[in-house]
């Protein structure tokens, strides 16, 4: 089978995009997906995303981690698929689509995409760290020596440790840069390594830092290893709402691969 694919990246978080509106891709073939995402034997990516038809919204997003398994919400992937949908002439400068965690909206302007995330409540403050779900589960902790930290080793300890165990969590290490700016490095489950950027991760960090008073701003800049993202939000009685993840999404190349 020959597959046509497109490669997208959002602040270094890279994805294989496939137009699956005709239903030709086998979503149950984890070996195929992990092969396509392999950086040595396949195309190489942090994940694979399918764009599919939807009865009510503009399209549906199906996201797989690089291990071949369908995963929870991917923020940068959501921004990239909105850009992909625009490229395919499915949408113009705005869209509404369904992901695994529900409905999302996106606004596109040049190569910048703003993605509406789900409302967030139930933030857990454990003193040394916080835990919250922004479409994917995230452990957030402040680190003064962020640059020198072995993210893969330290992230894996937390990802597989108590209380997360086999279910696991994404792990974010954070350093405050200014009143509304934070540096972040993320270990992603499913990738099982550091990624250059994580959309749900920077969203979690922005909300967590506001929650514990490290920032009073409702527009926060996040400096990832792959570039800058912004998160805007409003406080609500139960947590946070009207949460927008903003940043670049770019097509890198188009290709064909046989399986």
- Four-CA torsion 210, 117, 202, 81, nearest 10 degrees: -160
80 is catalytic: no
HSE-up of residue 168 (Cα within 13 Å, Cβ side): 16
95 is catalytic: no
Global confidence as pTM: 0.96
Catalytic residue among 37, 74, 80, 95: 74
What is the β-pairing status of strands 94-99 and 59-65? parallel
- Dump pLDDT digits (tens) for 44-86: 999 999 999 999 999 999 999 999 999 999 999 999 999 999 9
Residues 6+ apart with CB under 8 A from 123: 130, 131, 132, 207, 208, 211, 239
- Dump pLDDT digits (tens) for 238-251: 999 999 999 999 99
75-87 and 199-211 helices, crossing angle to 10°: 130
Catalytic residue among 37, 80, 95, 198: 198
Q: Which domains does the chain have, with CATH numbers?
A: 2-117+249-258 (3.10.310.10), 120-245 (3.10.310.10)
């Amino acid at each position: 089978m020959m597959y046509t694919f497109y490669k997208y990246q959002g602040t270094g978080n890279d994805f294989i995009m496939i137009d699956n509106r005709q239903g030709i891709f086998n979503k149950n073939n984890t070996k195929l997906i992990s092969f396509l995402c392999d950086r040595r034997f396949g195309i190489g990516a942090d994940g694979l995303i399918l764009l599919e038809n939807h009865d009510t919204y503009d399209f549906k997003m199906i996201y797989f981690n690089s291990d071949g398994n369908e995963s929870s919400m991917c923020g940068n992937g959501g921004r990239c698929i909105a850009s992909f949908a625009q490229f395919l002439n499915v949408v113009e400068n705005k869209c509404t689509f369904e992901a695994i965690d529900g409905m999302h909206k996106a606004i596109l302007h040049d190569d910048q995409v703003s993605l509406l995330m789900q409302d967030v409540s139930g933030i857990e403050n454990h003193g040394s760290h916080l835990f919250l779900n922004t479409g994917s589960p995230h452990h957030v902790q402040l680190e003064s020596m962020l640059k020198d930290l072995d993210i893969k080793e330290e992230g894996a300890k937390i990802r597989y440790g108590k209380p997360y165990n086999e279910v696991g969590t994404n792990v974010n290490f954070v350093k405050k840069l200014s009143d509304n700016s934070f540096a972040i490095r993320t270990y992603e489950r499913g990738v099982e390594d550091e990624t250059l950027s994580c959309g749900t991760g920077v969203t979690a960090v922005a909300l967590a830092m506001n929650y514990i008073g490290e920032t009073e701003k409702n527009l926060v800049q996040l400096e990832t290893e792959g570039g800058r993202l912004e998160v805007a939000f409003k406080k609500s009685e139960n947590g946070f709402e009207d949460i927008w993840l903003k940043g670049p999404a770019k097509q890198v190349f188009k290709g064909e691969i046989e399986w």
